[in-house]
Amino acid sequence: MTIAIYSALLFSFAILTFARFTQSPLWMATLTPLASIIGSGFLIIGPILGAEFGAAAPVAMMVLCVLAYLFGHAIRTNIATAENAAPGSIIHRMDTVASWALGLAYIISVTYYLNLFGAFFMDLLPYTNPYLPKGITSAVLVGLMILGWIQGFHALERLEKVTVTVKLAIICALFVALSIWATQTLSSPPILLTGDVDLGTPAQLFLIFGLLVTVQGFETSRYMGADYPAQTRIRAMRHAQIITGVIYILYISLLVYFVPMPPTVTSETEIITIMAHVSGALPLLLITGALAAQFSAAVADIAGGGGLFSQLTNGRLSAKGAYALIAGIGLVLTWQFDVFAIIGLASRAFAFYYAIQSGIAAWIAYKNRARLGATGYTMLAMLGACIVLFGASVEG
């Protein structure tokens, strides 16, 4: 299996690097939301859903993907119709509120990414310490703030395409490993986990709401207007969500039905222990992918957040000041909450942003006398508000 894993890794890396389609504008536009959606969430969502939903984990994953797709539909509508709203209009004011919400989400997501970075980095060390992951996270947060002050993030941002390609290649290798493992265990009864499979209870739905951040990232297409026209960004976001949805559901299915997993999730790096049962080659690959994914995502969000806050305050808060703000709040969150609680907070922050975007789409539909669309987007905005109020965190 090890040979197959590394062969798949090298082959997929070569395809993603040199194939002609990877040079097309549509693929380049798709790459950013695709990489964001399938980033850190991919590593933690499997054990969580397996422990919480058992055999119904793929259904829970499908619900999460459909929910994200609906929010993506609202944002795609706004890309097509709301980007050139006149200053002072209702749409422009709502979009400004949405931008502030996105800035808040950036701060929490940076903390989420770097806390996962610290946790996975600990797996490389020969000893454990309950405070060391938070110390690593804090050091990286402060280091990135200082780097942003001194040199900016442009040099690191140029590495993003390489880290994204590595991450996607590692995921391809993981799929090959899981597929081989599944075929080898077909003669055995499927492994059905013992979690509560009643998806209709409020507690289960609230938990799904609290995991929204694991499929977040599609909204990045909304802010790539300087590089791509609206229709390209709309198609790119739709393609990214469909591709990642299929990958997530297949991944959860292979994991739940063929790989033995613990009944509870005790660590954010649980996937490393689980994958060690499949192949000894996987843990190091996954840790490498996790570190690259978390670091690059954190750099992108700090840089994006710095520019966003500077723009929203009309320069009264400089980008450097915003870096300090992000790092300061990130340090507080890191030492006050565990990773699972931060995931819940990040999900609520992004749900707030999605709710406002859905409200914008509802207003546009209402102004255009599209009653069905206005009703649908209004219900979606209300759902986003429910996630903000009732999204639950995983009990780690």
- Is the residue at 296 inside a domain? yes
- Is the residue at 395 inside a domain? no
- Is the residue at 29 inside a domain? yes
- Residue 233, number of CB atoms within 10 A of its CB: 27
Retrieve residue 33's tokens.
């939301």
**Residue 279, SS3?**
coil
CATH of the domain at 285: 1.20.1740.10
CA quadruple 122, 124, 129, 133: dihedral, nearest 10:
-20
- CA nearest 350: which of 391, 292, 294? 391
- CA nearest 170: which of 303, 24, 275, 304? 275
- Is the residue at 128 inside a domain? yes
Q: How many domains does the chain have?
A: 1
Give the confidence band of 379 by pLDDT, cuts at 50, 70, 90. Answer: very high
- Is the residue at 178 inside a domain? yes
pLDDT tens-digit readout, 306-335: 878 888 888 888 888 888 888 999 999 999
CB 368 within 8 A of CB 184: no
How far the first Cα of the chain sits from its last, in Å, is 32
- Is the residue at 322 inside a domain? yes
pLDDT tens-digit readout, 226-239: 778 989 999 999 99
pLDDT tens-digit readout, 115-128: 888 888 888 877 77
pTM for the complete prediction?
Answer: 0.87
How high is the pLDDT of residue 52? 83
Is the pLDDT at 156 greater than 60? The verdict is yes
Domain of 35, in residue numbers: 2-390
H helix runs in 191-314, sequence order? 202-209, 230-258, 270-278, 282-312
